[in-house]
A and B are shown apart, each in its own frame.
Chain A
Amino acid sequence: MACGGAYVTGDGRAQLGQPAEDGQPAAVTLPAAAARIRSFSFHGDAVEALRDVQLAVLPGTLTAVLGGSGSGKTTLGKLIAGWLRGGHSGVLRGSLALGADRLEFHGGSGDPRINPAAWSGRVGYVPQDAAAMLSSVRSTVAEELAFGLENRGVPRLEMIRQVARIAEQTGLSGLLERDPAELSGGELRRLAVACAAIADPEVLVLDEPLASLDADGASQLRTLVDRLLDAGTAVVLLSQTADALARSAGHWIVLNGGTVTAEGPPAELGNGAALRDAGVVAEGLPAGTPGDLPLAAASTPVLELRGIGFGYGSGETRGARSARGPAGVVPPVALLRDLDLTVRPGEIVAITGPNGTGKSTLLRHFNGLLRPQAGEVRVEGGGIDRIPTGRIAASVGMLFQQPRDQLFERTVLREVGFGLRRLAGAEAAAGRAQEALAAVGLSDAAQAHPAELPSSRQRLLALATVLARRPAVIALDEPTVGLDRHGLERLQHAIAAAAARGAGVVLVTHDLAYARANAQRILALDGGSLREI
């Protein structure tokens, strides 16, 4: 076996750990946690999710595990934290060590059974979907924080003290009486970290902690990570982006296809081939080539919006979030006002703007999911006023933020082929489905279950279902979120190919850099209408 014996010595000391930052030699510091995973596979899976992965983290250090979607980062993080357990969740061979405590797994029935409650007192894990961390049965942030303590029978006065302490540390002090369901993305992420950190673990594993946070939320989270490191907590960061937080790590481990392809200090790995092959997104997205694309000729527009006006009713909750009237009044705000948009064949248009300005609302007008209260939407020259969405879909393909909602078939191929027969005839349907899968790089996964694909490939599959129908207009809602480097490249090619074929592409993104690199025209949604930037 490749990872023979020399990794963790009999007394559990690290041989492999990164150089400790305080200059102490690593060999005498006991790692806070060490994992030597020979193999791990989920029940019911023939393929191993992880093989030959070793990791040791020292107190007070930041370690980044980098890899693309489906590389096994999350599986590794959950194994270290006892969220996935040998025997319970799959077959594990290897060893896990916390300080001097060490467990050996042989993949048999005699293996030790991890006690998740005790284990998580020493290694905490915060999932990418922060809401999943919450119990969902507590009505205030303070009670949510106390949930783990209640289960462990901590006396009430001690609980109140600890809740106050962790709230102070994570910047939640002002939110203690709020309903957890009403927190913003950044606040929710901090609450999830606090729920894990309240047990005072020696190691904290953070899964994509910055994903879909705005600049403000991200900087607050960075402060929190720094505080945890100062307090001596070992932090393990799982990420598919080599961002500033990842670059501040002392040690990188690059995962690809469930195994380690490179490791070392960030300076050494830099922007190397291993990182690229693994699908890790470098800070600053791959530069696009909008200049190479033929500029749209002055032909008939594929999509035209004329004088669109729309607002959610004042009583509706959906409207309340984006309606920030003066002095807290919630008027029936017109989200879109006298908005015009023309998209010609072969044109790629990006619409940007901060959260809550109505970008997604605007997108939903293209195919009639929302109907304008004023003005008119024309697709390929015809009004769509009385046509049901399901029919407009033949001309307007739309990719949503959450791909899971769009997928319902048993195999990837059936998913792409859904409804194609009726649209293109039996003979053309099979070819088109294959072609669309090839365009997003999913030809090898044609027989896989859509739900078993990693999230990045799920989005690409959803994109393929749109491409296969060859719509005249393609509308994409935040297409870059959650895509790894491979996914971003596929997306870019697919968009360029669709535009070259003569489709009009509209993409909505909060990422101005991406919009600049990939669109010929950038529009900002501001005050309910669009302006060129």
Chain B
Amino acid sequence: MRLHPLTALTAACCAAVMTTAAGSWPLSVAVALAAVLLAARTGVAARVLLAAGVILAPLFLSLLVLHGLFFPEGHTVLAQWGPARVTAEGLGFALELASRTAACVLLLLLFSFTVSVPDLLTALAARRIPPQFSFVLAATLTLVPAMAERLEKIRQAQEARGLVVGRGLLSRLAAARLQAVPLVLGLVEDAGLRAQALDARGFGTTGPRTSYRQLQDPPAQRIFRATALLLAAAAVVLRLSTAWPAAVPT
């Protein structure tokens, strides 16, 4: 059975919130692994892992250097070189944060790489989310590949006019400017024309709207979403109430 896009979105978000609220690295690692397993089952593991790797690798490295070497609050010193101290607390803190971020990123990427965008738009329209939001979301997703193609065309056209990109910073800056101008100009002009077309097709009106595309939303999935939201809220409340006395100075 196909998941309603809102069910998938709710599941990903609630899992991310609960993982954040729990703040325990074994749980975070387990959630991250679960996300990877699910990605493998839906056949998007390679893409999810690649995207997550690009995002997470620099963060991990930065966290390791930052907290691994400099953590003034740490007591248990494992090694020391001049001002840099490796402390157990610092490493623990880095592990905690890295695993939590990894879990959340993997969950959300799993959602965005598996969701059907048209279905998501239909679901949003049915929930009376402003159509402007859906438009910007969908139009951006359409524009991303088109933009790359366009930039390549511009580059070719300019090279054919004798533009040689040198190695120097200034030369590359100048080349970037020359490419950016037609790109921005073309996109802004196209956008102006599209605005006229959208207005003519009633996009600017404020009245009620209907939807041509329809989506199945089985009751079981509605119950699941409500439950997930309740659980996430409970986790947040629990975390806030237990941490409150310690966290707020009196």
Please determine whether B186 and A404 come into contact, CB atoms closer than 8 angstroms: yes
Given contacts A153-B210, A405-B182, whether A132 and B197 have CB atoms under 8 Å apart is: yes
| Total count of chain B residues near the partner, CB < 8 A | 52
A136 at the interface (CB under 8 A from B): yes
Q: Within residues 126 to 145 of chain B, which ones have a CB less than 8 A from any CB in chain A?
A: 131, 134-135, 138-139, 142-143
Q: Which residues of A contact B165 (CB under 8 A)?
A: 390
B interface SS class: helix
Q: Which residues of B contact A394 (CB under 8 A)?
A: 162
Contact of A156 among B138, B178, B196, B211 (CB under 8 A): B211
Please determine whether A133 and B160 come into contact, CB atoms closer than 8 angstroms: no
**CB of B119, distance to nearest CB on chain A (Å):** 9
A418 at the interface (CB under 8 A from B): yes
- Count A-B contacts at CB 8 Å: 161
Q: Within residues 39 to 92 of chain A, which ones have a CB less than 8 A from any CB in chain B?
A: 78, 81-84
| Total count of chain A residues near the partner, CB < 8 A | 67
A230 at the interface (CB under 8 A from B): no
Q: Which residues of A contact B178 (CB under 8 A)?
A: 408
Contact of A423 among B157, B162, B186 (CB under 8 A): B162
**CB of A119, distance to nearest CB on chain B (Å):** 8
Given contacts A120-B201, A408-B182, whether A156 and B212 have CB atoms under 8 Å apart is: yes
Q: Within residues 196 to 240 of chain B, which ones have a CB less than 8 A from any CB in chain A?
A: 196-205, 207-214
Please determine whether A400 and B190 come into contact, CB atoms closer than 8 angstroms: no
Choose, from A139-147, A345-353, A480-488, A511-519, the stretch at the interface: A139-147
A119-B202 Cα distance, complex, nearest whole Å: 10
Contact of A146 among B138, B189, B205, B212 (CB under 8 A): B212
Please determine whether A406 and B158 come into contact, CB atoms closer than 8 angstroms: yes
**CB of A135, distance to nearest CB on chain B (Å):** 7
Contact of A406 among B134, B157, B202, B211 (CB under 8 A): B157
Please determine whether A400 and B157 come into contact, CB atoms closer than 8 angstroms: yes
Please determine whether A151 and B203 come into contact, CB atoms closer than 8 angstroms: yes
A369 at the interface (CB under 8 A from B): yes
**CB of A209, distance to nearest CB on chain B (Å):** 16
User: Which 5 pairs, one residue from A and one from B, show the smallest C-beta to C-beta distance?
Assistant: A390-B164, A151-B202, A146-B212, A137-B138, A393-B162
Spell out A's residues near B (CB within 8 Å).
Answer: 78, 81-84, 116-117, 119-120, 124-125, 127, 129, 132-140, 142-143, 146-156, 159-160, 163, 181, 195-196, 364, 367, 369, 388-391, 393-394, 396-398, 400, 402, 404-408, 418-419, 423, 451, 465-466, 469
Known contacts A390-B165, A405-B153; 10 additional CB pairs below 8 A are: A134-B197, A140-B118, A149-B212, A159-B212, A388-B159, A402-B153, A406-B158, A408-B182, A418-B161, A465-B161
